[in-house]
Amino acid sequence: MFKEFLDLGRHPIANAFLQKEEDFKDEFLFDLKVGLDTDTKLVSIKNFVEPERIFNQDYPYNTSNSFPMIEHFRKTAGMLYNEYGNETCYRVLEIGSNSGTFIENFSKVDSVCVEPCGNFAEITEGMGYKTYVDFWTTELAEKILSNDGYRDLIYAANCICHIHDLDDTFRAVKKLLSPSGIFVFEDPSLLRIIERGSYDQIYDEHPHIFSVTALNNLLRRNGLQIFRVDNLSVHGGSNRIYACHTDSCLVGDSVRYNLQEESVFGISNFETYEIFAERVFNSKKKLVKLFEDLKSDGKKIMSIGATAKSTTVFNYCGIDNSIIDVITDTTIDKQNTYSPGAHIPVVSPDKVNMIDYDYAYLGAWNFKDVIINKQREFVESGGKFITHVPQVMMFS
Ligand code: DWN
């Protein structure tokens, strides 16, 4: 049974940046409500947005724009190759290959990409990787099986939690995975989100927020089994899940440890989510009050990182251009646009003189250290940062 616990109000598509002011009136909005499935323990949003509205030719999030993520994928690929690879048998498939930052570490001959966003599929095709421009389904898995054969490694980063029908997703993996193959995927951790109050990880692109507990239930009923879990620091705390065909591998201690940690934390108890919802509401009240106080003192505020996360914060908290003058982002496709829903101008960092501002809100708080390092002059001239994770605060 789906039990709702959080109502974040009306929201736009988190990455649908608007090209011009005339586009504001036609903006698509939906009710962003969140609940727990009391049977599987899966946390999901209530109203799924059709994936074609989100993942299409105009999808702007490009992993290549975040140096820490390029490094993360290089290291991940190296680790997987060293620990599970074999020179004679390593047929890879990446679901949601974006701009190719993971797959570029693997052979062009044996690797296959799946990417529904045409703009990114073109990039991996151009790099020499066979790319299916499609959504991940059992139908597609059957097609790949007949064209390209079984896969020894199926990998997906920040992608599986984007897919509505998880049973179909896992059945599709089961079909295509070689008998001794592994399915490795990483997504934000529900436990870390609740712990850190980072409700901004909830938006249209994330119809599900995964706990290891829920994944264990869902994978099992589709003939797959988790055998290892790595806790990662990326994106504010993610889990990398390793799964195999049921009974084809030994279940490691990390699985028991994570399930136990989540159980002690209360991940299956509805009360945990009611407390989280209360915390989210208080976070909004504090952030809005802080911004209002700063504005009434005549302070100038900008924001760094036009993230999907900041779309959630700005729309939930009703923060617009009267509070935040401008957002900077290093992604070319987001520059010279307006942020979804809040309609704050987004520009290249070169267009903003940081020392003209008193405060910088961290839309990309997950890259806090990298960003702060680049902003020494801002801090030396008295500038301060604002974040809401793990709590609403200012710091320099
Ligand atoms: O799962 C998802 C994750 C991986 O990426 C998606 N559903 C959408 C997206 O979420 P996000 O927009 O919250 O992701 P990031 O990785 O937090 O985005 C960081 C943004 O900040 C990028 O647009 C690049 C920008 N940036 C910047 O302007 N200056 C990043 C750094 C490090 C910087 O110094």
For each successive 10 residues of the chain (396 residues), what is the average pLDDT?
A: 98 98 97 98 97 95 90 96 78 97 94 98 98 98 98 97 98 97 97 98 98 98 98 96 96 98 98 98 98 98 98 98 97 96 98 97 96 95 97 97
> Do residues 185 and 243 share a domain?
yes
pLDDT of amino acid 256: 98
Q: Best mutation site among 49, 66, 331 for ligand 1, i.e. most ligand atoms within 8 A of its Cβ?
A: 66
Asked if 297 contacts 319 with a C-beta cutoff of 8 angstroms, the reply is no
The last residue of one of the domains, among 267, 282, 308, is: 267
> Do residues 101 and 140 share a domain?
yes
Total domain count, the chain: 2
> Is 201 a pocket residue for ligand 1 (Cβ < 6 Å)?
no
pLDDT of amino acid 87: 56
Q: How far is the CA of 14 from the centre of ligand 1 (A)?
A: 12
The last residue of one of the domains, among 228, 245, 267, is: 267
Report the distance separating Cα 289 and Cα 358, nearest Å: 17
Q: How far is the CA of 68 from the centre of ligand 1 (A)?
A: 10
> Do residues 210 and 303 share a domain?
no
> Is 62 a pocket residue for ligand 1 (Cβ < 6 Å)?
no
- The protein residue whose alpha carbon is closest to atom 12 in ligand 1 is 307
Q: How far is the CA of 159 from the centre of ligand 1 (A)?
A: 14
> Do residues 245 and 341 share a domain?
no
Check which CATH number belongs to the domain holding 281 and give it.
Answer: 3.40.50.720
Tell me the residue range of the domain where 184 lies.
42-267
> Do residues 58 and 203 share a domain?
yes
Report the nearest atom of ligand 1 relative to the CA of 67: 32
Q: How far is the CA of 178 from the centre of ligand 1 (A)?
A: 33
> Do residues 84 and 221 share a domain?
yes
Asked if 113 contacts 159 with a C-beta cutoff of 8 angstroms, the reply is no
> Do residues 209 and 186 share a domain?
yes
